[in-house]
Amino acid sequence: MSTLVIEGGRRIEGRVDVEGNKNAALPLLAACLLTDEWCTLANMPRIADVEVMARLLLDLGAEVEGIGSTTLRIRCANVTKDEPDSTLVGRLRGSVLLLGPLLARRGRAVVAPPGGDFPARRTIKTHLEALVAMGARGIAGSGHRLEVPGGLKPASIYLDEASVTGTETALLAAAAAPGVSEIRHAACEPHVVELCEFLRAMGAGVSGEGSPTIRVEGVATLNGATKALYGDYIEAGSWAVVGAITGGHIDVGGTRPVDMEVVASVLTKMGVTCVQDNDVFRVEVKKLVGAGRITTSLWPGFPSDLVSLVTVLATQAEGATLVHDWMYELRLFALEQMSGMGADLFLCDPHRIIVTGPRRLRGKSLDSRDIRSGMALIAAGLIADGQSRIEPLETVERGYSRLVERLQKLGASVAKI
Q: What is the pLDDT of residues 312-344, one digit of tens each?
A: 999 999 999 999 998 877 678 889 899 999 999
Report residue 184's pLDDT band, with 50, 70 and 90 as the boundaries: very high
- For residue 371, what pLDDT is reported? 94
- For residue 122, what pLDDT is reported? 62
Active site residue 259: no
Q: Are 181 and 156 in contact (CB under 8 A)?
A: yes
- For residue 391, what pLDDT is reported? 96
Q: Which domains does the chain have, with CATH numbers?
A: 4-18+231-416 (3.65.10.10), 22-228 (3.65.10.10)
pLDDT digits (tens, 9 = 90+) for 229-275: 999 999 999 999 999 999 999 999 999 999 999 999 999 999 999 99
- For residue 143, what pLDDT is reported? 85
- For residue 87, what pLDDT is reported? 95
**HEC string of 109-139?**
EEECCCCCCCCCCCCCHHHHHHHHHCCCEEC
Q: What is the DSSP letter of 232?
A: -
pLDDT digits (tens, 9 = 90+) for 101-128: 999 999 999 999 887 654 445 688 999 9
- For residue 120, what pLDDT is reported? 41
What percent of the chain is modeled with pLDDT above 70? 98
Q: Is the dihedral of CA 211, 217, 221, 224 positive or negative?
A: negative
Distance between terminal CA atoms of the chain?
A: 9
- For residue 119, what pLDDT is reported? 40
Which one is catalytic: 49, 117, 259, 370? Answer: 117
- Dist. CA 394–CA 36, nearest whole Å: 33
Nearest CA to 167 out of 183, 143, 149 is that of 183
Computed over every residue of the chain, the mean pLDDT equals: 95
Question: pTM for this one?
Answer: 0.95
pLDDT digits (tens, 9 = 90+) for 2-60: 999 999 999 999 999 999 999 999 999 999 999 999 999 999 999 999 999 999 999 99
- For residue 116, what pLDDT is reported? 63
Q: Is the dihedral of CA 152, 157, 159, 160 positive or negative?
A: negative
Helix axes 233-245, 307-314, angle to 10 degrees: 10
